[in-house]
Amino acid sequence: MTINTLSQDGVQRQQMPCLTKMERMIISMQDPDMGIKLRNQRLLITVIPHAMTGIDIVEWLIKKFSISDEEALHIGQLFVKYGYIYPLKEPRNLILKADDSPYRFQTPYYWMSTRWPASELDYAIYLAKKNIRKQGELIEYEKECYNALHKRINHTWDFVVMQAREQLRASKQRRKADRIVLECQEQAYWLVTRPPPGTLDNIDYGPERRTMNTRVQLNAEFYKKEIEHNRISLARNRVKSSICLESYVKYCEQYQPHDPIMQGCLPSNPWITDDIMFWNMNSEVVAVPTKLRVECWSFSFMELLNDPMGRKEFLTYLEKEFSAENLCFWQACEDVRHGETSKIPEKVDEVYKQFLSPGASRWVNIDSKTMEKTLEGLKHPHRFVLDDAQMHIYFLMKKDSYPRYLKSELYKNLLARAIVPQETKKSVFPFMRRQRHSSPSPALATQTGEDDGKAKNSNSVKSNSGTASRL
């Protein structure tokens, strides 16, 4: 038995959604009234129906979907690229020309499908058939493929030969016009699925999964789970795109002044001017913060908490209000969540002793239901056991303390004190090149001194591209 490319497990490959959409469009093209106008193709003596010109296809697409010329041409190209329509004049050139070059539809068996990838056996049979028909005159790359396949699936080669002969005999039973169509179809299919070297491969099947162990039993249990899963997905909370787009626009507007790429950063972008003042001024512990940074804290509570300086300021404020234990509790919970697994039990214990137990020194105010749940969970501590309590305290701070902080004297004073850094003056002479140094890479630092000197020289020439690449 050859290695089967079909996934015979319960896990069936799905057809790619774009292909399903294309199939639907192709079927709608077949409509006798609203579909594409078809003509006959004349080949010396035989007449084959159902040919259409490229311009017909483009015009139909424009009319049906009310789209522009370019878009229709692009969609038409996709059809040809994926093999749903094949050209009759130049079969190897899989593009759509918006003139009177003829095209024809591909039969459903040969449609591009991720569910049924073409197997080597099929390709071998096709090449053998072509070999017979052309009396050995295959194209270069086909000859190579043929020889490669002969080596690879040598054990079924007899079958390949037998089947090729039989398929040719079967097709001889049809009349001439049909035979021509059959050959053109098959050739088009293989041009798409096994493109000649140098052309793009149109489809990516994704990795093959041959896990025979995950054979799914299609019994009642399985279907019950599926139903449950689908029911939950249906009940999922959805936001209308009009609403979330509005908030997205608002977010962008609010943060635009803070974006160093959109607004430029003061004093100067360190990546460009090699001047690290910007980072120094925005480092974690600084005597005087920048105005932008302090403004950012007013955008959302999370911004305030994420900035270490903001957190410290907030803590000072809370101490004045005698509710500092909330923030400490929140921080301790974060530590549990993001810390080492082995230390979790002791950390949780600490938290309990300090914040949650009835006579604790820094007792936090949590409602009874959450407290019960947390105390239950504490018996088997894990990383997320304090999540509910943490969330409760977080919202408490957010709704209560945070707005008051923003209105407080502390914050306003800080905002007044915050500085707006001066933009560094550009050099007076516009053509003077600034000295640029790149920092020595860590790899070089471990080498001997002589190498250092050489490397620095070569690096300074490439410093511009080097720093850009480190961006």
Partner 1 sequence: MGKDECKTMLDALNKVTACYRHLVIALGSTSDSQNLREELKKTRKKAQELAVANRTKLTTLLKDKSISKDDRAEYERLWVLFTSSMELLEVDMKRSLEIGQDFPLKVPTRHLIQTGMTGSTTTVAARAMSVQNMKYEADASIDTVDLKELETEIAQVDQMMEEMEMKVQVAPWAVEAKQEAGAELKSTVSVGNSSVGVISICEEEPKETVEGETGLMKVFAGIIFTAVLLIAGILGYLVINL
Residue list 166-225, contact with partner 1 (CB under 8 A): 166-185, 187
* DSSP secondary structure of 118-156: PPHHHHHHHHHHHHHHTTT---HHHHHHHHHHHHHTGGG
Total binding residues for partner 1 by CB under 8 A?
80
Q: Which of 14, 21, 42, 49 forms a contact with partner 1 (CB under 8 A)?
A: 49
Shortest distance (Å) from residue 229 CB to partner 1: 25
Does residue 88 belong to the site contacting partner 1 (CB under 8 A)? Answer: yes
Q: Provide, rounded to whole angstroms, the least separation between the CB of residue 56 and partner 1.
A: 13
Using CB under 8 A, which of 53, 106, 290, 326 touches partner 1?
106
Using CB under 8 A as the binding rule, whether residue 69 contacts partner 1 is answered as: no
Q: In residues, how long is the chain?
A: 471
Closer residue to partner 1 in complex, CB, 147/247: 147
Spatial separation of the C-alpha atoms in residues 86 and 84, rounded to whole Å = 7
Q: What is the spatial distance between Cα 444 and Cα 455, in angstroms, rounded to a whole number?
A: 8
Residue 106 or 401: which CB sits closer to partner 1? 106
- Cβ distance to partner 1 smaller for residue 111 or 355: 111
The reply on whether position 162 binds partner 1 by CB under 8 A is: yes
Task: Pick from 14, 68, 107, 465 the residue near partner 1 by CB under 8 A.
Answer: 107
Question: For residues 329 and 370, what is the distance between their CA atoms, to the nearest angstrom?
Answer: 15
Angle separating helix axes 54-65 and 69-81, nearest 10 degrees: 120
Least distance to partner 1, CB of residue 274, Å: 56
Distances (CA, A) of 134 to 7, 121, 131, 148: 35, 20, 5, 19
Tokens of 289: 């913060």
Task: Tell whether residue 114 is a contact of partner 1 (CB under 8 A).
Answer: no
Nearer of residues 147 and 365 to partner 1, judged by Cβ = 147
Phi-psi region of 265 (alpha: psi -120 to 50; beta: other; left: phi over 0): beta
Binding mask 299-318 for partner 1 (x = CB under 8 A): --------------------
The C-alpha atoms of residue 266 and residue 419 are separated, in whole angstroms, by 11
- Give Cβ neighbours of residue 402 (< 8 Å, ≥ 6 apart): 301, 304, 314
Taking the CA atoms of the chain, what radius of gyration do you get in angstroms?
Answer: 35
Among 55-63, 163-171, 341-349, 423-431, the segment contacting partner 1 (CB under 8 A)? 163-171
234 binds partner 1 per the rule CB under 8 A: no
**Cβ-proximal residues to 316 (8 Å cutoff; 6+ apart), any chain:** 410
Q: Which region among 148-156, 311-319, 331-339, 389-397 touches partner 1 (by CB under 8 A)?
A: 148-156
* Shortest separation between residue 165's beta carbon and partner 1, angstroms: 6
Which member of 9, 13, 46, 345 binds partner 1 (CB under 8 A)? 46
d(CA 3, CA 160) in angstroms, rounded, equals 15
Q: Minimal CA–CA distance to 306: which of 277, 333, 332, 284?
A: 284
For partner 1, the closer CB: 107 or 306: 107
Taking CB under 8 A as the rule, does residue 25 contact partner 1? no
Cβ proximity to partner 1, 55 vs 375, nearer residue: 55
Residue 119 binds to partner 1 (criterion: CB under 8 A): yes
